[in-house]
Amino acid sequence: MNILCIAPYHVSGTLSLWKREFASRGHRFRYVTMFRSPFGFEEDICLDLPLQPKSEAFIKARTLAYKVLRGHEPDDMPISTRPPVQPSPHPAMQAFFEMRDILLAPRIQSALEQLNLDDADIIWLDQGAEFFRDGRTVRRWAELGKPMMAFYHGSDMRNRGILPQIDKHLNLRLTSEVDLLYLDDRLEYLFLPIDLSDDVYSDEVDQHAHDIYVVDDPKAGDTLGTKFPPELMSDEPSRLDKQGTRRTRAGQTSSNGTSQEKLIRIGHAARVRSNKGSNTIIEVVTDMRLRGMPVEMVMIENLSHAKALQLKASCDIFIDQIADSGGWGYGMSGVEALAMGLPTITRMGSEMQEFVTDHPFIDATSSTLEHELTRLIEDPVYRETVSRDGREWVERTHSIHAVANQLCDYWKREGWM
């Protein structure tokens, strides 16, 4: 069976996992992206198209356009108030999309023919999008009777919304974000997959992992930072043992020579700080440090995925998010932390608690974060138990094999397999 995935870009790191997993099952999975992932994820077929949000200047211009033409940025609206289908674009934005479709049409059509993309048995539209904003390729595939599905990652639907000209041709709509299920009741849930055979989850921690530290200054902004020794600047991730158990860090010293034998490293990663409550997290950990608690804040941002994993693997505890403003519960960052054997704190509201009843996450809000951290720091037995339970839960729930079985069940129900 030939499976074709079209994606604006490789946003979550999972497309390469799907390709390997389906190959192991005797199927062909190809993913075509419009521009390269800014996070360094593996590419398959990248068209590297112009006029895409792949540069900082383009993204800033788009943000300004939202403010001027809409009166707000997409992230300014509470999730519950965002309709699944956004109002029609401003005429200026619509003119841009039409111009882009015209300019890119020859290049895209050539790729469609050279790559024989019409031969696909199942078509997967990542982020609910295709090459053209007007949906002309999807319309043609629908006329050919191709089964088509969309997968939404979160911000695609929250900020941009469903594209009706594409959506009307879809047979199946999936997401890994629980809040989106409340925005569109046609969506069905698929767990995020992770490849636990990857070395980053299966060998020992890199010996240089502790040469990284973060200045405990919540006012440092995006420079909060991170000192990288020369040894760390490779793309090779840190490693854990094969059971996912954290290695002992006693006796490690930082690059400035200060002993870190008793410090508990608390990690947190963010692409958009406001979505995760990052500044509050930094302030809580910094205050604990100033009051003599043996903690060190490790802020992970503005890095390639490989370097982010390396830094995450050096931590003892991980905090996913406490804001619930960029999605509910947990995301891939939290799954990665659990797979590494890290006790992981995140905000699991009532909707998440009802939807994922057996999760191993430690629930916290801004008002309870310090209490939950203190318990983990002062009780190493509890910390180790949470670590082991988290790894086992990821193996049952989020392993690429388990999630692929879940996806294939959907496809069998639709009569595609």
> How many CA atoms are closer than 13 Å to the CA of 125, on its beta-carbon side?
29
Please, which residues bridge with residue 122 across strands?
Answer: 3
Q: Give the dihedral of Cα atoms 201, 192, 353, 155; nearest 10 deg.
A: 120
Measured CA angle at 205 (ends 404, 17), to 5 deg: 20
Residue 71's pLDDT is what?
Answer: 62
- Which residues lie closer than 8 Å to 350 by C-beta, 6 or more apart? none
Phi and psi angles of residue 8, each rounded to the nearest 5 degrees, phi first:
-55, -45
Give me 117's structure tokens: 């993309």
Cβ pair 234, 207 in contact under 8 A: no
Cα–Cα dist 36/305, whole Å: 13
Domains, the chain, ordered by start: 2-193+401-413 (3.40.50), 199-398 (3.40.50.2000)
What is the number of residues in the chain? 417
Please, which residues bridge with residue 6 across strands?
Answer: 32, 125
Cα–Cα dist 291/286, whole Å: 9
Residue 190's pLDDT is what?
Answer: 97
Cα–Cα dist 358/337, whole Å: 17
- Which residues lie closer than 8 Å to 233 by C-beta, 6 or more apart? none
Cα–Cα dist 355/358, whole Å: 9
Residues 185-219: pLDDT tens digits?
999 999 999 988 866 675 444 433 333 334 334 34
Residues 223-276: pLDDT tens digits?
333 333 333 333 333 333 333 334 334 334 444 444 445 799 999 999 889 889
Is 304 in a helix, a strand, or coil?
A: coil
Average pLDDT value for the chain: 83
Residues 337-354: pLDDT tens digits?
999 999 999 999 889 999
Pairing of strands 28-33, 2-7: parallel
Cα–Cα dist 189/179, whole Å: 11
Integer CA distances (angstroms), 92 to 59, 65, 89, 244, 403, in order: 17, 9, 8, 52, 41
Residue type, 356: V
Give me 208's structure tokens: 């240089």
pLDDT reading at 363 higher than 50: yes
Which residue is it, tokens 């720091």?
377
Cα–Cα dist 369/347, whole Å: 9
Cα–Cα dist 36/24, whole Å: 26
Residues 159-175: pLDDT tens digits?
888 999 999 999 999 99
Higher confidence at residue 75 or residue 177?
177
Cα–Cα dist 134/30, whole Å: 23
Binned at pLDDT 50, 70 and 90, residue 76 comes out as low
CB atoms within 10 A of CB 25: 12
Residue 257's pLDDT is what?
Answer: 44
pLDDT reading at 125 higher than 90: yes
Cα–Cα dist 328/348, whole Å: 7
> How many CA atoms are closer than 13 Å to the CA of 150, on its beta-carbon side?
27
pTM of the model: 0.80
Helix (H) or strand (E) holding 165: helix 164-167
